[in-house]
Every structure is written in structure tokens, then in C-alpha cells.
Structure 1
């Protein structure tokens, strides 16, 4: 192919990508009014700030606005950092609206300063303290899932030893969560190669070894598109241990139709698989303000149209 033709075709592809979001917005504006606020086929969960331009900065007002748009769940990674009274109000509003609370992050659930792979007692103690705190928060907001990231890779230790260390620490966590029906969902990430947990099959192996209903996989399609690809096939192979889904398009970590992932096919597969859980909208937005909010909703209406 001549270079001029290649550049021309590349420009057409780029235009088509940008146009897809605009077409999604137009298709949503053409929907009958009841369909604009009707529940989606799958349970997508926004987080605070996604609709601040329309609903304002009050979290409770934004939750109500999300419900009016057709969403039936929310996420809030930082829920443990909110005042107790606010947590209670969030829980009461969700119960009133019949909405579900998605994941929040266990305090010090595992990060660069607190890695479970190192088998250091001080790290394990911090992790278990966070688990106990999470139980109390979960009661206030009626949460069933909490996110855990086991922390950094320890290069001075063999991989098998690190894996065994993580498994033993997580078993202690399940002893706290199991009596309350709470599931910690382990999230493999792509943020840095220094992280211990990065791949779906790796997380699957750990969950099988922990062998508890309170230790499952949080499958974030954005991170796994970066780390390994082959999304549907790997989800299918590890399905028995996946309890929670998050999404974001790649590259850019924004709403569907801004990157390379065919989310309509992914969502259709999840629906046909019988998935009844939450799909967390763990991403940013391609545009700010009311226009960005409209495009966000339109993208999910379009991807949900299978």
C-alpha cells in the first residue's frame, strides 16, 4: 500500500472511531422517553462525579440522578473514608431506590507499602485490620463485595513462595468476611509491572487455592486488555472464580466506543452467560460537562443494545 493511501485510510478509521460516540449520542436522543430511563439489560454501576454537571456535587443527589437514568447500582472505591453518617445515608437511599452497592476498596488492602507476598506480620496485621473495618462499612451500605490488591512483587523471593504467602494471608481475610456473606474480589492490575497480581489465570489459581466463597476475582476488562487480551476466552476459562466485572475502554480508560474493545460483544457474552452481578464503570470520560455525561450514557445504551 502506498504511504498516501495508508494515511488516508488511517484518517478514515480515526474519523469512524470519533463518529461512533456521536452516533451513539444521537441514537440515545432519538429513543422514546421511557427507554431513556429504563433499566439496562446489565447492571452498570457509575461512581461519584460522573454526573456532577447535571446532579451537583452532593453524592446522594447524584445517586438519585443515576437511578433516574436507568442505573441500578453504584461503586465507590473510597467509601471507607466517608463519615459514618454519610455511609448510613447512602445505604438508606440505595435501599429506598432498590439499588445495589458495588465494590469499595479495603483500607490498606494491599499496596506498595503493604504487600502480602512478603509474608511480613506487620503487613498481614494491617490487611486484617482493614478487613474488619470493611465489614462495619459494608453493613452500613449493604455491600457484598470489597476490592483487595495483594501489593507488590517481591523480587528476592521465588514466585511460588510469594504465591503461597498471598494465599495464606487471604485465607485469614476470608475468616473475617465469610460469616458476613462478604466477598473480597482480587483485582489483577496493569498499572505497573511491580505489582504481584497481574493476570486472570494467576488470580484464578490463587482463588482456587484459598477455596472460599469470600475470595473471588474482580475482572477489570481495561486492565486485562492491556495485560493479556483474549478477554472473552479467558473470562470463560476462569468463570467459576469471577464474581465481579469492571470495564473501561483501552487505550485511554474511558467509556465504550473510545478505544479498541468491542463492548457490545463483551456485554452480550456476559448476558448470555447469565451474569447477574454488577459491572463497574471504572473509567473516566472522553468529554467533561453535560455533553460528556450525555455521551457516557449514550455509549452504554449503545453497547447494551444487543
Structure 2
């Protein structure tokens, strides 16, 4: 049976962030993930994880000015020093929180920028991050994101992510495969997961359209969960969706779709 981690950036949002850990545990989750921990002392988050018996399975590298619309800086020329400082900060948080993998958001291509320059910048930054994370015993993830939700995002498909990882050539660098983003950009969910499973270290989910919980849209999650089990994926699946109403009201999908 798949193992689900609550994404605390998306779920239980009626609560302050620190209170979402307890809510996730009460809802039956044993693991959590979120975008960024950096606004809180690592000790405060660690205390919540320990108090509620939760494992942290993922967070992201710093991604620039999120409030101003930035969605990563790894592909942006001139921001290399900021990116490298963020890698160091992320590793310190990862070690304090016990997380084993960090996701890198590539960022949005500036209008008129040279795609070749952006790619070179991204590859060099990913090589740096992979080396630093490897020394810390951590995996680096790269996530393709659809261009409907984030126009201009630089990495959009599984093939693009794999091509980048081929060029980076680091044994600890993998794809973060988000089912929702993949459905919007390329489809072929089952075949892609099966073909590239050795290079996929983390999966996330949401249904489409709407990015709500599984069972609300077009993706046959009951079948897909069985397929993910059958091909041998043993990692966590992050629940990175927007609840259609409240988090608690929509959680019935876990029982309905994993025992179908």
C-alpha cells in the first residue's frame, strides 16, 4: 500500500503552520513534507516532529523571493552566490530535521533570456548542490512543473529533468515526479513511472483539473496506486493538493482509493 505524507504547505491551512503537525498526526499521517522551513527555527520544527511521531520526508532548497513571485533561482545567472548559500542553509536544516532529500526548484525563465545560458547556469548549480548534498549523505531532487500553473517555469517534463540529470551526472540526483504536473504536461503517467522508476526518488499527487484531492478529477488514482505498488515504488507519496473543502472532509480518498 502506498505511504502518504501530508504536505503541510497545502493541507490544514486553516491552522498556523506549527499547529499543522499535530493535525496531520491526528488525521493518521506518519510523515509530512512542506515547501520551506526557513521562517522557523529548526529546533521548533524538530520539536513538533518528535512530539507527534512524524517523519519529515522532503523540503525544498531556498527558492528566492516567493512572495514576489519567484519560484526558484537555480537557473538564474547572477544569483549563483545566493543559490550556494541557500544550499548550505538547506543542508543545516535537513540535518537538524532528519530529512534525507531536498528538492530544487529551477525557477522561471526571465523574458528574453538565452535558454542555453539558463541551462548552463542550472546545470552548474545542480552540480554544486549535488556535491554538497552527497557529502552530507543527502539526495538532490529536481521537479518538473507545468507551465499552466507557473508560466515560464524552466523545467516542465520528465524528459527535461532526466536530460539535466544526465548532464549533472551525480549519483545522488533524482527526479521528483509530481503526478499532477505530469498529467498536465505529458500524461502517460503509468508508463513514465515504470520506465524511469530507478531515477524517481519521490512522488507527489493531486488530481486534475483543480489540483484537489484524488478522486475529484480525471486521474484514475485507484488503478494508479495499485500500479505504483506493482512496479516496486517504496518511497513516500506527498499529498500536495488543495482540499476541495477542508482537509479533514476530503481525507476519505485514502481509504476509498487504496482499497478499491
Other-structure match for 1:230: 188
Q: TM-score, normalised by structure 2?
A: 0.86
Give the number of the structure whose alpha-carbon radius of gyration is greater. Answer: 1
Tell me the C-alpha RMSD between the 2 structures: 2.5
1:1-306 alignment to 2 at 5 Å? 41-48=1-8, 50-51=11-12, 57=16, 59=18, 62-93=20-51, 97=53, 99-108=54-63, 112=70, 115-118=73-76, 120=77, 122-153=78-109, 155-159=112-116, 161-190=117-146, 191-288=149-246, 292-294=247-249, 296-306=250-260
CA contact (8 A) 2:58 2:102 kept: yes
Shift of 1:219: 0.7
> Structure 1 pair 267/211, CA: closer, same or farther in 2 (3 Å)?
same
Q: Secondary structure at the match of 1:259?
A: coil
Shift of 1:59: 3.2
| CA distance in 1: counterparts of 2:64 and 2:43, whole angstroms | 23
Deviating more after overlay: 126-135 vs 230-239: 230-239
CA contact (8 A) 1:188 1:198 kept: yes
Shift of 1:281: 0.7
CA contact (8 A) 1:88 1:140 kept: yes
CA contact (8 A) 1:115 1:150 kept: yes
Stretches of structure 1 lacking an aligned partner (at least 5 in a row) = 1-40
Stretches of structure 2 lacking an aligned partner (at least 5 in a row) = none
CA contact (8 A) 1:201 1:238 kept: no
CA contact (8 A) 1:147 1:186 kept: yes
| CA distance in 1: counterparts of 2:151 and 2:7, whole angstroms | 27
Greater helix percent: which structure? 1
Deviating more after overlay: 235-244 vs 214-223: 235-244
Q: TM-score, normalised by structure 1?
A: 0.74
CA contact (8 A) 2:158 2:182 kept: yes
Other-structure match for 1:27: none
Deviations 1:181-235 (A, max 9, x none): 2122111111234111001111011112222233211111111111111111122
